[in-house]
Amino acid sequence: MSDFGGNWGGFNSDIARVGMVGEPDGIVRDEYARYRQAYVSQLLSFAPGKTAADVFNDSKRAFKAAGLELPGPHVGHSLSRGGGHENPVLHPGNHQQLEPNMLIAYEPVSIVDGQRKYHLEDLVLITDSGCRILTDWELTAEMIRIPG
């Protein structure tokens, strides 16, 4: 798993991808496929008017339906020129509504059997009618494979 950010001209970014040395076995492939399916369903559902708590609770339900848990206290955060984890942080107690032009880093983390960690993170721009994903989320259909 790799999670990193960048800054260009005062603007911040944040992204995470999952990789593996060697070929994943069937269990890992299945877990990642279920993780990504739940992830993409939620990634595409961002819209103005949803609250940070809505995003968190919807994510918990989607991942639970996929047989995966999200043990973390949040599933993402806003980014601004100030950098870091900005409000709205996507946690169950935050009832701030998402608004057009907010930039959200969506990053639910799932840990299976205390060993295997699945963590994607993409940037979502909230628009007037929904969202626009700014990062290359389509390339996450499979884990990054590093020859062993």
- pLDDT (average), residues 112-126: 94
In this predicted structure, the answer to whether residue 102 has a pLDDT above a threshold of 90 is yes
Range in 22-26, 59-63, 65-69 the model is least confident about: 22-26
| pLDDT 10s digits, 14-53 | 667 788 899 999 999 999 999 999 999 999 999 999 999 9
pLDDT band at 6 (very low <50, low <70, confident <90, very high): low
Expressed as residue numbers, the domain containing 19 is 2-146
Question: Which of the two residues, 17 and 116, has the higher pLDDT score?
Answer: 116
Tokens at residue 32, please? 């990642």
In this predicted structure, the answer to whether residue 4 has a pLDDT above a threshold of 60 is no
pLDDT of residue 94: 97
- Residue 45 maps to which CATH number? 3.90.230.10
3-state secondary structure labels for all residues of 108-126: CEEEECCCEEEECEEEEEE
| pLDDT 10s digits, 86-99 | 789 999 999 999 99
How many residues would you count in the chain? 148
How many domains, the chain?
1
Q: Which amino acid is at 148?
A: G
What kind and span of H or E run contains 57? helix 52-65
- pLDDT (average), residues 99-119: 94
How would you class 26 by CB atoms within 10 Å of its CB: exposed for 0-12, middle for 13-18, buried for 19 or more? exposed
Reduced to 3 states (helix: H, G, I; strand: E, B; else coil), residue 133 is: strand
In percent, the amount of the chain with pLDDT more than 70 equals 86
In this predicted structure, the answer to whether residue 81 has a pLDDT above a threshold of 70 is no
Question: Which of the two residues, 12 and 98, has the higher pLDDT score?
Answer: 98
